[in-house]
Structure 1
Amino acid sequence: MTDHPRRVTRALLSVSDKTGLIEFAKALAGHGVELVSTGGTAKAIAAAGLQVKDVSELTGFPEMMDGRVKTLHPKVHGGLLAIRDNKEHADAMKSHGIAPIDLLVVNLYPFEATVDKGAGYEDCIENIDIGGPAMIRAAAKNHDDVAVIVEAADYQAVLDELAANKGATTLSLRRRLAAKAYARTAAYDAAISNWFATQLKDNAPDFRAFGGRLIQSLRYGENPHQTAAFYATPDKRPGVSTARQLQGKELSYNNINDTDAAYECIGEFDPKRTAACVIVKHANPCGVAEGPDLITAYRRALACDSTSAFGGIIAVNRTLDAEAARAIIGIFTEVIIAPDATEEAIAIIGGKKNLRLLLAGGLPDPRTIGLTAKTVAGGLLVQSRDNAVVEDMDIKVATKRAPTDAEMRDLKFAFRVAKHVKSNTIIYAKDLATVGIGAGQMSRVDSARIAARKALDAAAELKLAEPLTKGSVVASDAFFPFADGMLACIEAGATAVIQPGGSMRDEEVIKAADDHGIAMVFTGTRHFRH
């Protein structure tokens, strides 16, 4: 590929975000570039004392229909699309009085921001840009001759080239800008199409697209031989994508994945009701607890499985305070994420230079409707987020004995946690803290036994006379297909069970519970998490 320089003689600027506009326009004028513009952009440039031609002068037509029609004209698109070295194109330009446009600067109407602020239907429709994407795509297609800028961040790169190449841009830059331009219009159209699907309550539109903006390029993916990057979508759900990183090393792919798992789980706990802490390792909670304050919640969560917590991710649901911060830095931790933190807590964490501290500014709402997606070979699986919460479920007592109030409180806690643990899931809980977690096993019996074994290990470390599964409750993310899984939980010491129900053998499982004097409730809602 040669540099193939193209001199910029005329630029068309039409931007909704005017950050850096005047400085850029002045620099272009300094290179002898003729400025053409539209509406508010033209007024801003003229107000800065620069010569600017309104696009209506170029086209011979005024802006009309509330600005909906202003750039959709052959004198605009011909100036962008004409191949400069093609004689037929050059003759057509001369014949029809079409002047070349060598640089297009457009950032689109703020559709995503309009939706994000909760605007009404008509307002959102009016913020769908038509002329902008058409011009961007035209300029990007003709990148052999035309440079296109879709955000202010690229102003300096263009100015650097103009300075280095006597007012010309290189093909390598124009190609990079063209690729970015098509990606931007693709993400923009994806946001619009998904908004329409939501408005129409269409869960399976014929075409589905997702788009995002780069947050950071990652060193590698799950493993060092995999490439990776992190993108933000229009969904402004509080979490790792919206968080401010105050300190620590750059987040890795696995850090981001695990931190998201931790923060989605902590979102289940209303900070007005209780303090809570979640400790995650490899995308699974290894300890979750509520408490009167964060330090109590943290210590109780850590007690569930302090071995797995080493090198884990910690999420809390309230402003991180100094007392909790001092406790957390007692063991090696990769990431702490919280809605906010006190200055004293920030200073304490600052003593651990590699520990990442993220402040998300809020908690995710577990009831929020949204989409999740995962790739499969040749396809994309899209589903609505699991936004079921146990407080909204119609819980039915299935056994002769109903749970006590204390048991019911722990059962709801355990089921809230089970939603965020990989299937098959078994959660033992006692006094609003997990005391054994079994995750991701092919057999529910194995999950029950692994969780019980974890409780035995914790009891040995804490020098307890017996594991905390004695007198605990147990949650299963899906029904027990046979009584054996529940019997393993009873053997570990559980006195009450919460599960979705719905198995062909529910009666067999209920009978086994009754035979052992166990209370069992059905939620009617499953929480598979693969």
Structure 2
Amino acid sequence: MTDLVAIRRALISVSDKTGMLDLARVLHAHGVELLSTGGTSGMIREAGLPVRDVSDVTGFPEMMDGRVKTLHPKVHGGLLALRDDAEHVAAMNTHGIEAIDLLVVNLYPFEETVAKGADYDTCIENIDIGGPAMIRAASKNHAFVAVVTDPADYADLLAQLDANKGATPLAFRQHLALTAYSRTAAYDTAVSTWLAGAIGETTPRYRSFAGKLAQGLRYGENPHQSAAFYTNGSNRPGVATAKQWQGKELSYNNINDTDAAFELVAEFSAGPACAIIKHANPCGVGQGKTLTEAYQRAYQCDQTSAFGGIVALNQPLDAATAEEIVKIFTEVVIAPGASDEARAIFAAKKNLRLLTTDALPDAGKGNLAFRQVAGGFLVQDSDVDTIKAADLKVVTKRAPTEAELADLLFAWKVAKHVKSNAIVYVKDGATVGVGAGQMSRVDSTRIAARKAEDMADVLGLPQSPTIGSVVASDAFFPFPDGLLTAAAAGATAVIQPGGSMNDQAVIDAADAEGLAMVFTGQRHFRH
């Protein structure tokens, strides 16, 4: 392949016109002939730069509302022709096809149109056809053609032209081609994903996922693993769309845990709430009359695990809460906002990352969740279902009291975000014990109760906070032993899905212990 290829002719046709005129001016200064289409051509001409309309090159006007303008042999021939192939050169000469050495194209804003909630017809009209066709043609012929699909690459292009006297080196064109193919793949993925949702197709024959690099990470879950963070264009409030005010760059584990924390705290929209996450599991969740009280109640569930954790708040961070948070080492705080006073308090902690979003994510809406396995990947809807009091079925002789019912619903929201097998003890609107990720549900029940006993010693309480608590189990109790362990820890009411062959035995055990128990009919496994 030829290394340096001089740029003599460039085709510019962009939807996002950021930096386009500056690029055109520099190309003109390098003696590059400019070809363009539609609004891009008009802007270049108004700037006083010479430009040829593609319609003049092809001999055909733009037609069908701009749907047909670049789909022509004189465009694609100019992009695809091999300059060192005699037959290709002869064909170009015979048919009056001029070589195009640089293609600058970015696509109709399809992803942005979908994100704004546009109707079906509007989304369809924002599917680019000519752009991807030209990009793929130029990318295939990167031996001779440079293709730029992102304004972020304009500076690098101009630097290469300056360094190489108006030419581009092969390695740079290869890099541009990789970016271009990745862009068209992501674009097609966005279209297919949207169309599947629009027509209600849950299992399309082909499924792909795509994203744009947001951040190269120092490493992955462990230092020997390389990693990066990609965004998918969703406007869902969260770690991907948040503003970072201070602190080091987020790590792989920071991003994963911060997402888990914010999605959990979004379950609580009525009154101040706080969730503290460690290794993607909640180690404390609390509600209070103030945000400070909510944080304190979450922290008191498991102070040991909260050290170095992630704090998520469902209301803007205030100064009083900031003062409490900085008393221990915390990795990240994420909230819908933060006061100037709170940010000033955090400023003294250089390593503490503060993220703010404009809103909470809608806990009733989610994205597709996928997980790689050998030879493929699993895809499912996000677990966004919620339970109301009216959905519960009382299965014991005793119904829960009003206070127990409120805590049961609280515990159920938290259990949905705990790794299975999940057990969550709650008392007066705060978690007091969390058992996560155990192979045995009985072990999760015991671990959660033991953590509560440990915190009773730390806080100087006369008894374990699980006494008089309620307990949630993310899946059914297969036998009475887990329920009896919770009863021994002092729980007075239970919420679980039900559905076990041994439900009646579990119900009988609950009645014998004087427990109230409700079934949700819904499981929340989280692996």
Q: TM-score, normalising length from structure 2?
A: 0.99
Determine if the alignment matches structure 1 residue 400 to structure 2 residue 397.
yes
Moved over 4 A (4+): none
* Distance in 2 between residues matched to 1:260 and 1:370, nearest whole Å: 13
Aligned AA (2:522) = T
3-state SS of 1:163 partner: helix
Determine if the alignment matches structure 1 residue 354 to structure 2 residue 354.
no
Residues 165-214 of structure 1 show CA distances to partners (whole Å, capped at 9, x for unaligned) of 11100101100000000000000000000000001111110000111111
Paired position in structure 2 for 1:463: 460
- Does the Cα contact within 8 Å between 2:2 and 2:144 map onto a contact in 1? no
Q: Percent identity?
A: 64
3-state SS of 1:486 partner: helix
Gaps of 5+ in 2: none
- Does the Cα contact within 8 Å between 2:498 and 2:519 map onto a contact in 1? yes
3-state SS of 1:381 partner: strand
* Distance in 2 between residues matched to 1:77 and 1:191, nearest whole Å: 25
* Distance in 2 between residues matched to 1:233 and 1:351, nearest whole Å: 34
- Does the Cα contact within 8 Å between 2:389 and 2:409 map onto a contact in 1? no
Aligned AA (1:504) = M
Paired position in structure 1 for 2:493: 496
* Distance in 2 between residues matched to 1:64 and 1:393, nearest whole Å: 58
Gaps of 5+ in 1: none
Aligned AA (2:104) = V
- Structure 1 residues 109-508: aligned runs within 5 Å: 109-270=108-269, 273-391=270-388, 394-508=391-505
Label 1:369 to 1:352 Cα distance change in 2 as closer, same or farther (>3 A).
Answer: closer
Aligned AA (1:401) = R
* Distance in 1 between residues matched to 2:389 and 2:145, nearest whole Å: 57
Aligned AA (2:161) = L
3-state SS of 1:428 partner: strand
3-state SS of 2:241 partner: coil
* Distance in 1 between residues matched to 2:241 and 2:387, nearest whole Å: 27
How far apart are 1:392 and its partner, in Å? 7.6
* Distance in 1 between residues matched to 2:121 and 2:69, nearest whole Å: 21
Determine if the alignment matches structure 1 residue 519 to structure 2 residue 516.
yes
* Distance in 1 between residues matched to 2:320 and 2:119, nearest whole Å: 45
Paired position in structure 2 for 1:12: 11
3-state SS of 1:85 partner: coil
How far apart are 1:163 and its partner, in Å? 1.1
3-state SS of 2:418 partner: coil
How far apart are 1:234 and its partner, in Å? 2.6
* Distance in 1 between residues matched to 2:234 and 2:339, nearest whole Å: 27
RMSD value, Cα: 0.9
Residues 50-69 of structure 1 show CA distances to partners (whole Å, capped at 9, x for unaligned) of 10000000100000000000
How far apart are 1:329 and its partner, in Å? 0.4
* Distance in 2 between residues matched to 1:392 and 1:486, nearest whole Å: 21
Residues 391-440 of structure 1 show CA distances to partners (whole Å, capped at 9, x for unaligned) of 28711101000000000000000000000000000000000000000000
Determine if the alignment matches structure 1 residue 93 to structure 2 residue 92.
yes
* Distance in 1 between residues matched to 2:246 and 2:11, nearest whole Å: 42
3-state SS of 2:13 partner: strand
Determine if the alignment matches structure 1 residue 105 to structure 2 residue 73.
no
* Distance in 2 between residues matched to 1:119 and 1:433, nearest whole Å: 41
- Does the Cα contact within 8 Å between 1:3 and 1:172 map onto a contact in 2? no
3-state SS of 1:133 partner: helix
3-state SS of 1:12 partner: strand
* Distance in 2 between residues matched to 1:131 and 1:443, nearest whole Å: 57
Aligned AA (1:205) = P
How far apart are 1:235 and its partner, in Å? 2.3
- Does the Cα contact within 8 Å between 2:315 and 2:335 map onto a contact in 1? yes
Label 1:174 to 1:393 Cα distance change in 2 as closer, same or farther (>3 A).
Answer: farther
- Does the Cα contact within 8 Å between 2:332 and 2:354 map onto a contact in 1? yes
How far apart are 1:161 and its partner, in Å? 1.1
* Distance in 1 between residues matched to 2:159 and 2:109, nearest whole Å: 28
3-state SS of 2:238 partner: coil
3-state SS of 1:35 partner: strand
How far apart are 1:370 and its partner, in Å? 2.4
Residues 129-180 of structure 1 show CA distances to partners (whole Å, capped at 9, x for unaligned) of 0000000000000000000000111111111111111110010110000000
- Does the Cα contact within 8 Å between 1:10 and 1:33 map onto a contact in 2? yes
Residues 477-525 of structure 1 show CA distances to partners (whole Å, capped at 9, x for unaligned) of 0000000000000000000000001111100000000011100000111
Aligned AA (1:464) = L
* Distance in 2 between residues matched to 1:98 and 1:3, nearest whole Å: 21
